[in-house]
Amino acid sequence: MDFNTICELVDKASAKYGRKTLYKTETKNISYKELNNLVDSYAINLNSLKGEKIGILSENRYEWEIAFFAILKTGNIVVPLDKSLTQEEIENISSRVDMKYVFTSNNYLEKAKKIKNTIVFENIKIDLKTEKLNFSKINPEDLAVVCFTSGTTSESKAVCLTHKNLCANIHGVEKIYNLSMDDTCLAAMPLSHVLEGLFNMLNSINVGASRAHVNGVENIIDALGKFKVTYMGAVPAVLDYLLNYEEELAHISKRVNMFMCGGAKLNIETINSYAKIGIKVIQGYGLTECSPVVSLETDKYHKLGSVGKVIPGVEVTIRNLDEEGIGQIVLKGESIGNYLDKKSNDSILQTGDLGYIDDEGYLFISGRQQDMIVLPNGKKVFPEEIEVLLNKIDLVNESMVYDNSGKIAAIIVTDSLNNKTKIEEKVKRVNKLLPLFKQIQNIELRLEPLEKTSLGKIKRNKEIEENINKDEVNGSSEAKIIAIVKEQTRKNEVKTTDRLLEDLGADSLDFATIICKVQKEFNVKFTREQKSDIKTIKDIIEEVEK
């Protein structure tokens, strides 16, 4: 379809796909033909507003998407809010963008109460016979979305994307991506995450696919079957978690078109595990600032270790190449947005990532420029390359490689400090695979998991500043489980009686990540019934110690 704004995308999809099902819910199906009337019913609440930044704070549900389109149709700007944010963080974002309105659900009304005007989904009157309303013309250059990135810095970045940015990205994706109107796409990631709320949502509607929603990683398997899902986007932690249900995945594998992984690097072992089940997993590379897709794997463009080929409309340049041909990844194109506090019109983005493009045009990501180690002799080391090898050691849960006064060192997380001798022997074997300058000269064992962002990226600077020189480690089950929970929920203080969801604000992805880490830490495997019974930290401890 030809469109220059997201509003045009909605209008044309509604007309083109007509009676075809857009949303599958527990109680009903909603057609593309009904989409515009639903959007207008929501837009009535905003018709007097123009240019306002309006939040959406709720669980995954089709109403989130209707609110998204209604905000844009009225000439306002969407601010997706991560439902795991604290009330204080929401208030901070509200202040930064002068947000006076928010769409929310009854479940999140309490978190949204400090925002002046709340529009609650459950209270919106739906009239599918709504007369056509008159809206101001939306221009491609109009601001559409302000997304707050989590990143690894304390102050999140506010990324501003126009209708033109978003549409350029959709048009680039549609030229190479194998998504069609025959697909049913499951929104398993939070809609506030650009992987789901921009990439999957907008691209599935562009091709006339059906959409369904699920909340709670523990409910994904049931949703895959119930809604006859053929496509899903997810981050590595979710895909790793779902491998606990190999039998159920195998049962639906013939129907599944593909699972798409983004947000963080996926282990090759996970890809191979899904391949054995019969499910294709592809990877992509993107940034919020690029609306968000840079490159994608497809049936046609697939190469082990790469993140596919760059989509049409995005230009990738590798600058300042080193002797190995690795350099800084710089992007240019109409899908490149701006920052709220830093305007630029050159459509160029310095990603901060390092990588290379091979002779066949495949993009490979080597690591973050800020994480690269430069040794005294000028040699460069990418920690992630060594960490992949270390993490294959069966006694190693995870690792972090860093520069220790010009020498390569590693923190290794393991189940027992008594593993030191065995791990040292296996690290020697890893060193034989590496050039001399990359070899690990010192290791430090730890029981506590490394601190990470919500997408599973190690907070390297914080680890180096705060944790490398820890001398004592508490090795009890309770202490290790508490450490895992504190890391994932970003809480400084927790009690064993704390409920993961209600008291600590964990979302379904946090819950899944906690369970995966606990299972790996203690070499246990919880049944579905055990997982459903876990409400508090104490419940996890009791299951581990049974």
The average pLDDT across 396-424 equals 91
**pLDDT score at 382:** 85
- Residues 252-270, mean pLDDT to the nearest whole number: 89
- Of the two residues 166 and 388, the one the predictor is more confident about is 166
Residue type, 244: N
The domain ranges of the chain are: 372-472, 474-546
Does residue 542 surpass a pLDDT of 60? yes
Residue that wins the pLDDT comparison between 113 and 31: 31
Band (pLDDT 50/70/90 cuts) for residue 151 is very low
pLDDT, position 470: 45
- pLDDT of 347 over the 80 cut: no
Query: Mean pLDDT across the stretch 387-412?
Result: 91
Judged against a pLDDT cut of 50, whether residue 203 lies above it is answered with: yes
Higher-confidence residue of 313 and 266: namely 313
Dump pLDDT digits (tens) for 173-182.
Answer: 999 999 999 9
Q: Whole-prediction pTM value?
A: 0.80
Nearest alpha carbon to residue 308 among 348, 352, 274, 262: 262
Residue 376: band (very low, low, confident or very high) from pLDDT cuts 50, 70, 90: confident
Closest CA to 70 of 52, 84, 87, 88: 52
Q: Is 80 exceeded by the pLDDT of residue 474?
A: no
Separation of alpha carbons 479 and 466, rounded Å: 18
pLDDT confidence of residue 475: 53
The domain 372-472 is placed in CATH, from the list 3.40.50.720, 2.60.120.10, 3.40.50.10710, 3.30.300.30, at 3.30.300.30
Q: What is the pLDDT of residues 444-471, one digit of tens each?
A: 998 989 887 665 678 887 787 765 544 3
**What is the arithmetic mean of pLDDT over 356-363?**
95
Eight-state DSSP code of residue 123: G
Q: What is the pLDDT of residue 219?
A: 95
Q: How far is CA 90 from CA 63, 84, 111, 217, 369, in A?
A: 20, 10, 8, 24, 30
Q: In what order do the strands lie in the sheet with 101-104?
A: 117-120, 101-104, 53-57, 77-80, 143-148, 158-162, 338-339
Residue 338 pLDDT > 90: yes
**pLDDT above 70 for 53:** yes
Asked if pLDDT for residue 192 goes beyond 60, the answer is yes
Integer Cα distance of 467 and 448 in angstroms: 10
Characterize the bridge pairing of strands 407-413 and 398-404.
antiparallel
Residue 469 has what pLDDT?
Answer: 45
Query: Confidence class of residue 130 from pLDDT cuts 50, 70 and 90?
Result: low
- Parallel, antiparallel, or unpaired for β 210-213 and 21-24? parallel
Across residues 416-432, what is the average pLDDT?
Answer: 93
Of the candidates 306, 282, 287, 284, which has an alpha carbon nearest to the alpha carbon of residue 295? 284
Phi/psi for 339 (5° steps) reads -105, 150
* 224/252 Cα distance (integer angstroms): 8
State how beta strands 53-57 and 101-104 pair.
parallel
Reply yes or no on whether the pLDDT at 152 is more than 60.
Answer: no
* 315 bridge partner residues: 332
Model confidence at 313, pLDDT cuts 50, 70, 90, reads very high
Average pLDDT over residues 262-283: 89
Q: Residues in the chain, how many?
A: 546
The average pLDDT across 509-531 equals 87
Give residue-wise pLDDT tens across range 427-445. 999 999 998 889 999 999 9
Tell me which of 315-319, 451-455, 524-528 is least confident.
451-455
Q: How high is the mean pLDDT of the chain?
A: 89
What's the rounded Cα separation, in Å, for the pair 144 and 79? 9
492 pLDDT above the threshold of 60 = yes
Kind and range of the H or E element at 62? helix 62-73
When pLDDT is averaged across residues 377-406 and rounded to a whole number, the result is: 88
Q: How far apart are the first and last CA of the chain?
A: 57
Beta bridge partners of 145: 78, 161
Percent of the chain with pLDDT over 70: 95
pLDDT, average across residues 99-107: 96
Token output for 322: 């080193």
Whole-number Å distance between alpha carbons of 218 and 143: 36
Q: Which H or E run includes 49?
A: none
Indicate the pLDDT class of residue 136, thresholds 50, 70 and 90. confident
Mean pLDDT (whole number) for 159-166: 97
pLDDT at position 150 is 59
72-101: pLDDT as tens digits: 999 999 999 998 888 888 998 999 999 999
* CA dist., res. 468 & res. 458, Å (int): 13
Tell me which CATH homologous superfamily contains domain 474-546: ACP-like (1.10.1200.10)
The mean pLDDT of 326-354, rounded to a whole number, is: 87
Q: How distant, in Å, are the alpha carbons of 161, 170, 173, 375, 492 from that of 344?
A: 12, 22, 24, 35, 38
CA atoms of 244 and 238, how far apart (whole Å): 11
Q: What percent of the chain shows pLDDT beyond 90?
A: 62
Work out the number of other CB atoms within 10 angstroms of the CB of residue 74. Answer: 26
The pLDDT, as a whole number, for residue 466 is: 67
